[in-house]
Structure 1
Amino acid sequence: MSWLRALKETARAGLTIERRRLEPLIALRGAAGLALVVGVSLSLFGPAIAASSAFGAFQAAIATFQRSWRPRPVLALVSGASLAVSTFLGYLTGSHTVVFMCLLAVWTFVAGMAWAAGPTGGIIAASNVAIMLVTVTLPTSVVDAAAHAGMIAVGGVVQAALIVLFPVRRWGAQRDALADALAAEADYARRLRDDPVAPFDPLPLMTARSAAAVTPREARRRPADLHGARGIAERLRPVLASLADPALGVPAEGLERVWVRELLGAAGSVLDAAARAVRSGDPVHLAPTDLGVLRTPDNEVILVGPARRAADRLDALLADVIEIAEGTGTREPTDRADHAGRHRQPDPRHRPDPAHEPDPAHEPDPDHPAAPVHPADLAPSATDGRTRPTLLRLIPVILKAMRRELHHGSPILRHAIRVSVVAAAGFLLGTALPFGHGYWAPMAAVMVMRPEFSQTYSRSVARFGGTLVGVGVATGIVQAAHPDATLSAILAVFCAWLMYLLMGTGYAVGQVCVSAYVVFLLGMAGDELSQTVTERVVLTLVGGLLAMISYALYPAWETPRLRNRLADWLISDGRYAATVIEQYADPTATSHEDVRAALLATREARVAWQEALATAQHEPVRHRGISRAAAADAQHALSQLGRSAMLLEAHLPAASSASVPGAAELADALRRATERGAKAVRERRVPDWQPVAEEVARWDVPATAADPAPDPVVRKGATLLLEALEEFSQALDYRGGSRRADIAPRAD
């Protein structure tokens, strides 16, 4: 993509306004906390301290809107405390330009590295640096600075207290995440009726797994319907896929296929009902006809072999989902699903529900719509009963994540260097310009800069446009009404409420509200409005331009790393498939934790590849990477590789089963071949799967007549794995259909 086209697309994205579900009660609570802090500070300490405390309460409330599963009061307290420390240290060095510049560079570098802990940490850290540049100008002495810092921290405490005292939809985010996972499974079941090999996006399951991590305190208060269902939803996907797939399920045509379609439709309805119940906290309402389809004795007559086992497991898993959604489940239900086979009568407590449409999906963070929450914030593990570390125990995790990013190729390190240099340069330039209040330029730059190109450029355009509108509107109001300190405070609180309410609709809309908020707040503190208007517009433009120029001069392009991302996904898929096949080689290994860990690794690698590909398609750079056509074909092949392994996982043998001859050799060949194949991808060569093909072919020719026939499930699954690997090589073959394999991807 050319630079001109990239600039046009990022500008359009930055100015886009989206329709999102609004949360007026949460916005009202944040504005009420801000009003309380401003009102008390204004009456007791005067306008200057009131302005500082308002910034603290304002930022603490914004922190609670970020996409994080950590308790909201904790986010408010961390934001208020960190901003108070930043303000006090900034004031101590503010009178010495060189010392302040050093502090600003170090503080901004640390804020940039905070992105290693996830988007929430990076956003809060960047906001603290930006607001610090304003608040350090308000105090007049060290004692006064301490008072300002104290009131900023009080603002965070007030917002945290209001969240505790006036909760709005407690556990709502966790309920939405689990309901979205169940609704995704329901949609998957319905799509399998018409497309037996329909794809499935695992992101809702990954999000639900992130939401299931709780602190020890939360674990004691978590509702029963949020415990266990996510694990069952994970196990439902391979069962649904294996039931529908013609290779390991039922034939593509005939009575069995018709009946499987009925089973999948009923499963979708039951999962939708469970999703609605989890989202609202109400009882599950099921249609008796759906339960009748799932639990009819016809399953034993119509379905045989693997398909019948899958139908029995589906019945058991859905019963567990219903039980947990009703709040009657008290454990992680594993026994029934593993020993499925008996039939259940419909529960008389269930009554029909005429509405079977899934609820809207949970809305992502506007700054990072596709990005999952970072592991440093979640501390994930394998079960729903896992715990998230406390803040003190999280510090070493974050520091370790930062250390991992301290290498030249890290986008996080490059972002930290960029933002620290731009902040220092912006402060010097703003000070040198004849406007005064030179902190507007570095503040704007810090707020818009992100590790990605498209977000940095789109936010720069959105911030300038929003600033222009917000300052213009606020100026008109002030010139018409000439508000005093009290009215200015009221107008500032109103703008903050609009910001909280509309911040999910787009960055430009939020900046309109923030710009007006700052104008009214500084007007309350006695700043001359004429200065504010001019410098806000001009210096915001300067800061945005500095941010954009810095990325052009010191970029962190994702395009050159596409092959590495693809290779990582290939390795993780190969390890997952090999781990599953090893279970057939040694069924006595009753623990499937290795399979679970391998599955999670391949999901993370897949999401990393998809995010990298989406980012690369908007970068104005050409690199000898991989063409868009080859990337699409390779992605499809690796998806089929993972799906084939998942089908094998759905039929894992019981501990009493005999080992499958040749399974261990196949697993070893698969693991080694994918590791060598990943190396070939990085070196721009076409992978070779001859060792895997030889192991698969060996099963067709038994050594002696006395040798047992290979397990049909494993034999068919191995063939599917080999076909997916060969399709992957064809996607990357320069002599094949992907003739432009050396060209970087282009956006549509």
Structure 2
Amino acid sequence: MTWLRALKETARSGLTVERKRLEPLVALRGAAGLAIIIGVSLTLFGPAVAASSAFGAFQAAIATFQRSWRPRPELALASGTSLAVSTFLGYLTGSHLLLFLALLCLWTFLAGLSWAAGPTVGIIASSNVAIMLVTVTIPTSVTAAAGHAAMMVVGGCVQAALVILFPVRRWGAHRDALADALAAEADYARRLRHDPVAAFDPEPLMAARDAATITPRQARTRPAELHGARGVAERIRPVLASLADPAVGVPPEGKERDRVRELLGAAGTVLDAAARAIRHGAPVQISPAALAALKTPDTGAILTGPAYRAATRLRALLKDVLETAGNTQPPPTPTPTPAPTPTPDPPATPAEPPAPEEPPTPTTHPTPTTHPTPLLRPSLFALVPAAIRAVRAEFRHDSPVTRHAIRVTAVAAAGYLLGHWLPLGHGYWAPMASVMVMRPDFSQTYSRAVARFGGTLVGVALATGLVQLAHPGTGLSAALAVLCAGMMYLLMRTGQVAAQACVAAYVVFLLGMGGQQWTQTVPERVVLTLLGGVLAMIAYAVYPAWETPRLRTRLADWLIADGRYAAAVVDRYAHPAGKACPDVRESLLAARDARIAWQEAVNRAKNEPVRHRGLSRAAAADAEETLAQLGRVAMLMEAHLPERGDTPVPAAARLAEALRKSTEQGAKAVRERRVPKWDAVRTALEEWDGEGVPDRVVRRGAGLLLETLDEFSDALDTAPPPMLVDGSATKRPDADGPRDPEEGPGPTAR
């Protein structure tokens, strides 16, 4: 992508206003907390203290809107307290330019590194640095600075207290995450009716798992319908895929396939009903037709073998989902009718093993008072060591987080010096704009820079016009500031430009409350905001952290993770252990993390003005599809893991070892821009065939693994075949990785 096109795409993204579900009650609560702190501060201390305390309450409310599964009061308190500390230390050094500049560089560098601990921490830290640049100019003495800092802490406490006293849809985000996972599986079941090998994006399941990881305090108050349903949902997905796939299920057409389609449609209906019930906290309502379609006697008369086992397991899991969601009328218990035709397949229960910290869900649903052990999240203070470890892991020159920290520190210092030297006054606007817009990746930095400047123009124009018409005093300016803040809370998820317009108007009214005229703030704010945005954009172009050259590394990481997951599954056929397979579960989660990391990298790279020399977009898309297929095949095999005590398959151990080593060697070849080969896997399968295979499902799955690996190599092998003297093409020799045609000295980008 050229620079011109990249700028157009990021500008369009920054100026886009999306239609999102608004949360007016949450926005009203945040605005109410801001109004309380401004009113109290104005009455007791005056406009100056009111302005600084308003920034604390404003920032604390913004923290509660961040996409985090932590309790919102914790975020509000952490934000208000950290802003107070930053402001007080900043004021102590504010009268000495070099000393304050050193503190600003240190604080900005630490805020940049804090992105290693997660986006929520990074956003709060960056916002604190930006707001500190304004608040340090308000106090007049050390005592006053301490008082202002204390009022910022009070502002955070007020917002935290309002969250506790007036909860709005408590556990709503957790309900939505679990409901989204169930709805995604419902959609998957319906798509499998028409496409038996349809793809499934595990992102909703990963989000549901993140939401299920809660603090000990949250574990004591979590609603009953949020207990256990996520673990059952995890086990439904491989059962659905196993039931639909012709390779291990039923033929593509016939009465068996019709029955499978009927079961998949009923499963989609049940999962959708459970998702609605969990989302709204209401009883489950399902049509009798969907429940009737799940009766086991009808299934046993048509399906046999693996398909029958999958259908039986699916019904048991759906019953667990309904009971967990609070259904008062579970599916009727069928009469125990066995499958009419025995098959040579060994008995197996298709199920995805639970996480190590979650005990397996039994076949019969547990009593209402029994719940799986929750996934616990460390407390806010216990998170500090983990954050330090994350920062240390990213503290290297080639890390995007470290490069972002260096970049934002240099820009903040340069912006502050330029603002100080320019005869405009209020020079802090330039570094504040830079810190607020800069992110570790290119797309967000450029889109936010455009959105901030566009939003500033709109907000300043509207606020200026209103000031000219109404000439508001202190009280009216405070009320208008609260109104603008409430609008920002309401619209902040619809797009950056709308939020920045509200922020611009908020700051104009808030400073006007302290006695500053609009003519003292508007012109320099516009010019210095533009300067800060331009500095941020230039800094990324001069000192970038492009994601495009790292795509092959991300792809190699995903290949290793998928290979370990497939190897862990295959190895369980050599060492049967039933459902208790923590190694399989851990490798599955690692494979999902690697897949999400790859997808995020692709999304970041698609708007970058660089090109990878050796991995075209078409090759990347084909490789992504094959690795997703590799994970799906491993999932199908996992759905039929043998029970403890079943006859082991010794050849599976050799295949598992071959998969581990071959995928690791293949990942090395991908990084070195060679095409991987899979001779060891092929040899292990040939030896397996020579010993005999007791289960057609197992052998077919193993064959599909090799086919998928070959397709992965074909996706990366874009070099044209060598030509003979007569001009005809010949087959490329099977060497260890013919290199890509655009090969250079390494994975460079320009």
Structure 1 residue 734: Cα displacement:
2.9
Distance 2:73 2:548 in 1: 39
2:118 match = 118
- Alignment length (residue pairs): 699
2:362 equivalent in structure 1: none
Change (3 A) 1:605 1:328: farther
- CA offset at residue 562 of structure 1? 0.5
**How large is the RMSD of aligned CA atoms in angstroms?**
2.1
Matches within 5 A, 1:677-696: 677-696=666-685
The one-character-per-residue Cα deviations of 1:492-523 (angstroms, maximum 9, x if unpaired) are 00000100011111100001100000000000
Deviation, 1:223, is 0.6
CA distance in structure 1 between the aligned counterparts of 2:481 and 2:94, rounded to whole angstroms: 27
Matches within 5 A, 1:3-22: 3-22=3-22
Q: Determine if contact 1:230/1:384 at 8 Å carries over to the other structure.
A: no
| 1:191 partnered with 2:180 | no
Residues 441 and 217 of structure 1: CA distance in aligned 2, closer, same or farther (over 3 Å) = same
Kept in 2: contact 1:53–1:151 (CA 8 A): yes
Q: Which stretch of the first structure deviates more once superposed, 522-531 or 649-658?
A: 522-531
Q: Are residues 1:398 and 2:398 paired? A: no
In the TM superposition, structure 1's runs of 4+ consecutive aligned residues that sit over 6 Å from their partners are: 737-741, 743-746
For 1:17 and 1:158, the matched residues in 2 are separated by 31
C-alpha displacement of 1:443:
0.2
Percent same amino acid at aligned positions? 69
Give the whole-Å Cα distance in 2 for the aligned partners of 1:658 and 1:65.
54
Partner SS state of residue 656, structure 1:
coil
- Counterpart residue type for residue 707 of structure 2: E
Q: Secondary structure at the match of 1:504?
A: coil
How far 1:481 moved relative to its partner? 1.0
Counterpart-to-counterpart distance in 1, 2:719 and 2:552: 18
CA contact (8 A) 1:37 1:57 kept: yes
Q: In structure 2, what is the Cα distance between the partners aligned to 1:591 and 1:709?
A: 24
Which residue of 2 is the match for residue 410 of structure 1? 399
Q: Distance in 1 between matches of 2:237 and 2:392?
A: 37
Return closer, same or farther for 1:18/1:742 CA change in 2, 3 Å cut-off: farther
Cα pair distance change 1:186/1:684, threshold 3 Å: same
Residue 143, structure 1, aligned to residue 132, structure 2? no
What is residue 626 of structure 1 aligned with on the other side?
A: 615
The alpha carbon displacement at 1:711 in A equals: 2.4
Is the Cα–Cα contact under 8 Å of residues 224 and 324 in structure 1 kept in the other structure?
A: yes
Alpha-carbon distance in structure 1 between the residues aligned to 2:271 and 2:327: 15
Question: Closer, same or farther in 2 for the Cα pair 1:740/1:496, shift >3 Å?
Answer: farther
Post-superposition offset of 1:529: 1.9
Q: CA deviation at 1:381?
A: 6.2
SS at match of 2:493: helix
CA contact (8 A) 1:628 1:745 kept: no
Matched, 1:389 2:374: no
Q: Pick from 533, 552, 555 the counterpart of residue 544 of structure 2.
A: 555
1:3-42 correspondence runs (5 A): 3-42=3-42
Q: CA deviation at 1:589?
A: 6.7
Q: Equivalent residue of 1:297, what SS? A: helix
CA contact 1:452–1:615 (8 Å) conserved in 2 = yes
Residues 1:328 and 1:398: Cα distance change in structure 2 (over 3 Å): farther
Q: Are 2:706 and 1:722 equivalent residues in the alignment? A: yes
SS in 1 for 2:650: coil
Q: Is contact 2:229–2:324 with CA below 8 Å preserved after alignment?
A: yes
Aligned twin of 2:365: none
- Per the normalisation by structure 2, the TM-score is 0.91
- Aligned-pair distance for 1:327? 7.4
- Structure 1 residue 296: Cα displacement: 3.9
8 A Cα contact 1:270 1:290, kept in partner: yes
**1:701 Cα deviation from its structure 2 partner:** 2.6
Give the corresponding residue for 2:418. 429
Residue number among 606, 621, 631 corresponding to 1:617 in the alignment: 606
In structure 2, what is the Cα distance between the partners aligned to 1:533 and 1:70? Answer: 38
- Whether the 8 Å CA contact 1:223–1:327 is kept in 2: the answer is no
- The one-letter amino acid of 1:593's match is P
3-state secondary structure, aligned to 1:532: helix
Structure 1 portions without partners, runs of 5+: 330-335, 345-378, 703-707
DSSP-derived class of the 1:699 partner: helix
Cα 1:380–1:102 shift into 2, 3 Å:
farther
Q: d(CA) in 2 for partners of 1:39 and 1:280?
A: 36
Structure 2 residue aligned with 1:713, among 672, 697, 716?
697
The Cα shift of 1:742 comes to 5.6
Alignment gaps of 5+ in structure 2: 339-354, 359-371, 722-738
Q: CA deviation at 1:478?
A: 0.9
- CA drift of 1:695 comes to 1.1
Give the conservation status (yes or no) of the 8 Å contact 1:313–1:341. no
- CA displacement 1:213-244 (0-9 Å, x = unmatched): 11111111101100100011111000000000
AA aligned to 1:253 is E
Residues of 1 paired with 2:334 and 2:637: CA distance?
A: 18
- What amino acid is the match of 1:159? Q
Q: What is the letter of the counterpart of residue 200 of structure 2?
A: F
Question: TM-score when scaled to structure 1?
Answer: 0.91
Q: Secondary structure at the match of 2:33?
A: helix
Contact 1:617 1:745 in 2 (8 A): no
Aligned-residue offset at 1:615: 1.1
Amino acid at match of 2:28: L
Instruction: Report the residue type matching 1:485 in the other structure.
Output: T
Shift of residue 739, structure 1, vs aligned partner: 7.6
The CA deviation at 1:254 is 0.7
Q: Residue 108 of structure 1 contacts residue 126 of structure 1 at CA under 8 Å; is this kept in 2? A: yes
SS in 1 for 2:375: coil
Q: Distance in 2 between matches of 1:125 and 1:697?
A: 57
Partner residue in 2 for 1:285: 285
Question: Judging changes above 3 Å, is the alpha-carbon distance between structure 1 residues 498 and 709 closer, same or farther for their aligned structure 2 residues?
Answer: closer
